């Protein structure tokens, strides 16, 4: 038999191509050539002069890398300052910064559960939560989307540690989780509530303090938030926020914290710079929400089917994976970058164009974007009349 241990990869690639599910990388240039409705830079901060100056200044002062894991040489005073600032801004007792939001979800889920525990996870949760559940060795029950009653039923009768985990804003359809209902269920069952606020920070809550602050659950004894610094804060990295004893427990037990190099100083500095801008200009959060509402209203008025956005993500239904890819490509040719979600990234198998509202989009840009998206839409994307 010939030595060809990777032949199966070609078979898989053919199957992907037949199903219209090939993914390709498209490196972009430094200067924006397209109108951006695809990135997660919700507040338009990634190129803000104060944010880039803070990132560059941190690299000059502290070095290009953190030099080691957080428990060895990778904790600088800058990391400690970012942790204090994140906790204070979002209203939690303590914070722990990690190298990504992905690592933050793995850290929280693995360190706060374990064999014999039960995790109840929303069916629409992000892949990093799914992977955290898998790594945790806990029993995982996938609950129907946004359904506190179903979560309550699943928790009933479980003895031992239990936790409920949800995105605050779901990345596919942009809808918000029923956090007050889930918190009530958790309180009755003595279960912890872990909320991934990747898409809520900077957009929801007063001045962008996040989804938990918006419903008065920030700082609650039974609630933990996970964050990414890579969306509204325009930087890179992640964090877990919660009671001080939870953070201390993570420092001692969370493997994606302990065995990972600390966040690069430039990323920590950039996130601190963004928090500074957001404190001074709290209206950015409401602007991002307003742009999302305007995009939704105008796209649906044009006859397209779009989910009502609870934050900055606006999702428009496409008739098929193939059609979604072609639609996104046509938008790109017409000068607009949009996201394209299709299986396996969509839990219900429905492909979508995924648009992200940015706080700094102008009226002209919103009008141009809607006109282009409607003009390039496949006929089947328009809702039947009547």
Ligand X SMILES: Cc1ncc(COP(=O)(O)O)c(C=O)c1O
- Sequence-separated (6 or more) residues with CB below 8 Å from residue 264: 59, 64, 65, 66, 236
Q: Tell me which of 75, 110, 113, 171 binds ligand X, using CB under 6 A.
A: 171
Distance between CA 332 and CA 314 in Å, rounded? Answer: 17
Q: Tell me which of 37, 120, 198, 325 binds ligand X, using CB under 6 A.
A: 198
The pair of three-digit structure tokens given for residue 350, joined into one six-digit string: 């429905």
Cβ at position 55, least distance to ligand X in Å:
16
Cβ at position 290, least distance to ligand X in Å:
22
In terms of CB distance, is 46 or 228 closer to ligand X? 228
Q: Do 270 and 59 form a contact (C-beta atoms < 8 A)?
A: no
167 binds ligand X (CB under 6 A): yes
Cβ at position 210, least distance to ligand X in Å:
13
What backbone phi and psi angles, to 5 degrees, belong to 94? -150, 165
DSSP secondary structure, 269-325, as one string: HHHHHHHHHHHH-THHHHHHHHHHHHHHHHHHHTTB-BPPPSSSEEEEE-SSHHHHH
Distance between CA 222 and CA 237 in Å, rounded? Answer: 24
Alpha helical stretches, state H, 19-166: 49-62, 77-90, 101-111, 127-136, 148-155
Cβ at position 102, least distance to ligand X in Å:
3
110 binds ligand X (CB under 6 A): no
Q: How far is CA 126 from CA 16, 98, 107, 133, 328, in A?
A: 22, 18, 15, 11, 22
In terms of CB distance, is 346 or 370 closer to ligand X? 346
Q: Tell me which of 110, 230, 235, 356 binds ligand X, using CB under 6 A.
A: 230
The pair of three-digit structure tokens given for residue 83, joined into one six-digit string: 């942790």
121 binds ligand X (CB under 6 A): no
Q: In what order do the strands lie in the sheet with 118-122?
A: 94-98, 238-242, 223-228, 192-196, 162-167, 118-122, 139-143
Instruction: Report the DSSP beta bridge partners of residue 157.
Output: none
260 binds ligand X (CB under 6 A): no
In terms of CB distance, is 341 or 377 closer to ligand X? 341
234 binds ligand X (CB under 6 A): no
Active site amino acids: 171, 199, 231
339 binds ligand X (CB under 6 A): no
Cβ at position 340, least distance to ligand X in Å:
15
Which span (75-83, 99-107, 145-153, 299-307) binds ligand X, by CB under 6 A? 99-107
Q: Tell me which of 132, 148, 178, 238 binds ligand X, using CB under 6 A.
A: 238
DSSP three-state, residue 30: coil
Size (the chain), residues? 386
Q: Tell me which of 44, 91, 101, 208 binds ligand X, using CB under 6 A.
A: 101
Q: Which residue is nearest to ligand X (CB)?
A: 101
Distance between CA 55 and CA 259 in Å, rounded? Answer: 24
232 binds ligand X (CB under 6 A): no
**Near ligand X in 297-336, by CB under 6 A:** none
In terms of CB distance, is 112 or 377 closer to ligand X? 112
Q: Tell me which of 79, 126, 342, 354 binds ligand X, using CB under 6 A.
A: 126
Distance between CA 45 and CA 285 in Å, rounded? Answer: 12
Distance between CA 186 and CA 181 in Å, rounded? Answer: 9
Q: Do 274 and 47 form a contact (C-beta atoms < 8 A)?
A: no
In terms of CB distance, is 129 or 152 closer to ligand X? 129
In terms of CB distance, is 257 or 377 closer to ligand X? 257
Distance between CA 174 and CA 295 in Å, rounded? Answer: 13
Which span (196-204, 245-253, 345-353, 367-375) binds ligand X, by CB under 6 A? 196-204
- Sequence-separated (6 or more) residues with CB below 8 Å from residue 26: none
Which span (71-79, 94-102, 132-140, 349-357) binds ligand X, by CB under 6 A? 94-102
Cβ at position 187, least distance to ligand X in Å:
24
266 binds ligand X (CB under 6 A): no
Q: Tell me which of 196, 220, 260, 310 binds ligand X, using CB under 6 A.
A: 196
Q: Using CB under 6 A as the criterion, which residues of the chain lie in contact with ligand X when the complex forms?
A: 100-102, 105, 126, 128, 167, 171, 196, 198-199, 228, 230, 238
């Amino acid at each position: 038999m010939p030595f060809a241990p990777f032949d199966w990869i070609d078979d898989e690639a053919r199957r992907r191509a037949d199903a219209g599910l090939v993914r390709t990388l498209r490196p972009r240039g430094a200067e924006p050539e397209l109108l951006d409705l695809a990135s997660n830079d919700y507040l338009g901060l990634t190129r803000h002069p104060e944010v880039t100056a803070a990132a560059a200044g941190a690299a000059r002062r502290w070095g290009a890398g953190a030099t080691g894991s957080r428990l060895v040489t990778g904790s600088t005073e800058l990391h400690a300052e970012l942790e204090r600032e994140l906790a204070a801004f979002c209203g939690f007792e303590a914070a722990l910064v990690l190298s990504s939001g992905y690592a933050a979800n793995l850290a929280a889920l693995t360190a706060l559960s374990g064999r014999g525990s039960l995790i109840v996870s929303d069916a629409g949760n992000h892949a990093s939560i799914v992977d955290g559940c898998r790594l945790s060795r806990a029993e995982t029950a996938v609950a129907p989307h946004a359904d506190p009653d179903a979560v309550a039923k699943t928790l009933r009768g479980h003895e031992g540690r239990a936790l409920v985990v949800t995105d605050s804003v779901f990345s596919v359809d942009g809808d918000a989780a029923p956090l007050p209902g889930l918190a009530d269920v958790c309180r009755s069952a003595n279960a912890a509530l872990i909320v991934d606020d990747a898409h809520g920070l900077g957009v929801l809550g007063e001045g962008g303090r996040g989804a938990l602050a918006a419903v008065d659950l920030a700082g609650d004894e039974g609630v933990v938030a996970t964050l990414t610094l890579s969306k509204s804060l325009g930087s890179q990295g992640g964090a877990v926020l919660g009671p001080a004893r939870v953070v201390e427990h993570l420092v001692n037990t969370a493997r994606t914290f302990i065995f990972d190099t600390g966040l690069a100083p430039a990323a920590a500095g950039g996130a601190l710079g963004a928090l500074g801008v957001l404190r001074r200009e709290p209206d950015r959060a409401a602007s991002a929400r307003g742009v999302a509402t305007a995009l939704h209203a105008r796209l649906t008025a044009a006859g397209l089917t779009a989910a009502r956005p609870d934050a900055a993500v606006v999702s428009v239904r496409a008739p098929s994976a193939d059609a979604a890819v072609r639609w996104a490509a046509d938008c790109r040719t017409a000068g607009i970058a949009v996201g394209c979600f299709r299986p396996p990234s969509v839990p219900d198998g429905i492909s979508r164009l995924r648009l992200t509202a940015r706080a700094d989009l102008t009226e002209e840009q919103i009008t141009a974007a809607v006109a282009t998206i409607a003009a390039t839409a496949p006929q089947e994307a328009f809702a039947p009349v009547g």
